[in-house]
Structure 1
Amino acid sequence: MVKIIGKGGANYVLAFGNDNDDLYRICVRGRSLRENNRSTVDNYHYALEVVKPQLGEFVCRMELVDLPVCDSLRQVLKSKIEVWDATTVTCLKMPNLVPAGSLSHTVDHFTKIHIGERAIVWEFKPKWLSGNDKYCRNCTLNLLRGQTSISYCHAQLLNPGQAGPILKSLFAGLNVPPAFIEDMEAYIAQPCSVLQRLRVAQEQVDASLGPLDQPDTAASPERCLSMTLKDVSCFVSWHKDASPVAVVVDLDMKPAAKSAHWTALQEQLDRFQPQVRH
């Protein structure tokens, strides 16, 4: 039996049978299975050869595997794949980062928490952590999109003294022990934390880029890497008697064809009012 664990615009994440340890990430961006298989291979090499030098040990362990096309795979993928022009489905096999039997809570558009008997996993998309002297890109975009219920951004967690209050507010009403909040606050402040490392990586890549409205950089490989780093997902696993462990996923190369969209959105944000500053 095949179960869909997660759906995105370009990928499905599947589980097979009673195997709770491994998940299989399949590209569904194109209508052709062969095309999607090639994209999966390309994304695998991109993650290891381009993104991993930026994020190091935080990059999730993964391997390429080919699964024979079967009826159950056809069933779960039929709404996305129209042309079955290959006999196997190429997948990224990855560890399941959510504890078996845990209770999952969607906190908001960017944050989930998974509470298990022995571990708590904080899942989040930090988005833009690199600096913008004019306004907060994350919070201003939330207002532009009408997401007014989200009163924080992950960039604020890196400001001294703000992580604790934000985390307490974020997980209020959920069954998380005070030690989880305390340990996460201390972890975020460490130079080796995933948020700190991701911010440094974003800043280093962005330092070589001009404004988004410059045609020579809007679709460059460096711009695509910058956008990949701003759309990753982080999983931070917490155990009571151990240091937090972080893993980063969603490392696909962003298509250069989106450069016009990136430029238009940036221009829209620059005109939008009110812009959020903090």
Structure 2
Amino acid sequence: MLTNQSDWIFLAKGNANAVFSYRGEDPKLQGLVLRLRLQLADSQGYIPVQSIVEYVNSKIRPSFKNGEIVDMSLVELAPGFAEALSGISHVALQKDEKYGILLPNILPEYERATNIVEMSKHIKFRFYQNDITVLELKPKWLYQLPAGVSTCRNCALERLRSETKRGNTGKSTGAGGGISRPICPLDLLSPKTLQRWTDKVCSPLAEHMDVTQLKVQLLHVLQRQSSIKAIFELQNENNLDVHQNIRNLKGESSIGEDLSLSMTMKDVTVFITFGEDAADIKIIDLDLKPAAKWSHWKTMEQKLVDSGFYDELMSPPCNREVDL
């Protein structure tokens, strides 16, 4: 049981959880971080921490044979622990939470990056003095692009967000036969497009550094890993047609196990650590998605259909080949 909230220092937070780094003297906790739930505006979206750990261990972890899924240990919190830590850190935590999750700090030796560069909403580089690079990546939707659809969900959503910022609500005509495509995760699904993805991710850095070796090292890791394949397979179990499935949703009870797993795997974060003598992959953010999100999923899908961005021609077009 954790009793001393002063041993934990706020590290980072996302949409649903906050992470705290251990700074106490207990050797059993050295190198670990504590993940706690943020205060929820709507309790309908709450999934018990115990259920999350059980789901990851039973449904997700067996598909990853090389230890990519970080170890997760359920830990009991002393009464008032979360509330006290919330007061110290000024982070709004679920104050009555009885359990947290202990995880290894996947960047234990590299907490102070010399440079952090965000390439997009879902891609971030961390550079370190020892020539180690960490790529933080959310692959998002990995699937076989359906026949009759020109643009994948990832690129369509990126276009929708971009046009919304500009005050537009529908597609615009691009010069030269197509709209310039953002960094598309579907390029990760085939050896033929891995080089294209690597170039697209790394090339903007060339203004500030020599990226020749960076591209070679990253491509080398991507060509030899099996994590993307495992994520793809879990997102598409039983040949799930996720678009049609979401459009047909009528309530929480209509969400099947395949869709629940698919949406969970669409939000994972992959940390790729690489360098001349380093190569490692760890995966986090495996929270089971609450059924209460069904309305949000359906509304967003309908927005993308109505916008016309699924039918828009990208240049180059989204990859249609899956060869993992």
TM-score interval, smaller chain: 0.7 to 0.9
Residue 268 to residue 49, structure 1, CA distance change in 2 (3 Å): same
CA RMSD of aligned residues (A): 3.2
Contact 2:53 2:74 (C-alpha < 8 Å) held by counterparts: yes
Matches within 5 A, 1:72-221: 73-76=85-88, 80-81=92-93, 84-85=95-96, 89-98=98-107, 99-103=110-114, 104-118=116-130, 119-133=132-146, 134=149, 135-146=151-162, 151-159=182-190, 160=192, 161-173=195-207, 178-190=212-224, 192-204=225-237, 206-207=239-240, 211-215=245-249, 218-221=254-257
Matched, 1:247 2:282: yes
User: What 5-or-longer segments of structure 1 have no aligned partner?
Assistant: none
Query: How much does 1:186 deviate?
Result: 2.5
Contact 1:140 1:269 (C-alpha < 8 Å) held by counterparts: yes
Residue 238 to residue 257, structure 1, CA distance change in 2 (3 Å): same
Residue 71 to residue 12, structure 1, CA distance change in 2 (3 Å): closer
Task: Give, in whole Å, the separation in 1 of the partners of 2:215 and 2:113.
Answer: 18
Contact 2:264 2:289 (C-alpha < 8 Å) held by counterparts: yes
- Name the SS for the 1:172 alignment partner: helix
Contact 1:188 1:196 (C-alpha < 8 Å) held by counterparts: no
Task: Give, in whole Å, the separation in 1 of the partners of 2:91 and 2:197.
Answer: 42
Task: Give, in whole Å, the separation in 1 of the partners of 2:139 and 2:21.
Answer: 26
Aligned to 2:169: none
Deviations 1:120-152 (A, max 9, x none): 111111101112221211011011112899821
Matched, 1:40 2:12: no
Task: Give, in whole Å, the separation in 1 of the partners of 2:208 and 2:71.
Answer: 30
Task: Give, in whole Å, the separation in 1 of the partners of 2:104 and 2:181.
Answer: 30
Partner of residue 61 from structure 1, selected from 71, 88, 95: 71
Contact 2:10 2:89 (C-alpha < 8 Å) held by counterparts: no
Contact 2:237 2:258 (C-alpha < 8 Å) held by counterparts: no
Contact 2:83 2:93 (C-alpha < 8 Å) held by counterparts: no
Task: Give, in whole Å, the separation in 1 of the partners of 2:238 and 2:293.
Answer: 18
Task: Give, in whole Å, the separation in 2 of the partners of 1:12 and 1:162.
Answer: 35
User: What 5-or-longer segments of structure 2 have no aligned partner?
Assistant: 1-5, 166-179, 319-324
Query: How much does 1:72 deviate?
Result: 5.2
- Name the SS for the 1:212 alignment partner: helix
Task: Give, in whole Å, the separation in 2 of the partners of 1:76 and 1:170.
Answer: 40
- Name the SS for the 1:245 alignment partner: strand
- Which structure's CA Rg is the greater one? 2
Of 104-113 and 42-51, more deviation after overlay is shown by: 104-113
- Give the alignment's TM-score, normalised by structure 2: 0.72
Aligned to 1:9: 15
- Name the SS for the 1:30 alignment partner: coil
Task: Give, in whole Å, the separation in 2 of the partners of 1:218 and 1:189.
Answer: 38
Residue 264 to residue 223, structure 1, CA distance change in 2 (3 Å): same
Aligned to 1:259: 294
Residue 165 to residue 78, structure 1, CA distance change in 2 (3 Å): closer
Residue 110 to residue 164, structure 1, CA distance change in 2 (3 Å): closer
Contact 1:31 1:80 (C-alpha < 8 Å) held by counterparts: no
Deviations 1:188-219 (A, max 9, x none): 233x4322332233233553765322248951
Of 148-157 and 116-125, more deviation after overlay is shown by: 148-157
Query: How much does 1:13 deviate?
Result: 0.9
- Name the SS for the 1:246 alignment partner: strand
Deviations 1:207-249 (A, max 9, x none): 376532224895112211100011100001113124x211110
- Name the SS for the 2:206 alignment partner: coil
Paired positions, count = 271
Task: Give, in whole Å, the separation in 1 of the partners of 2:82 and 2:296.
Answer: 37
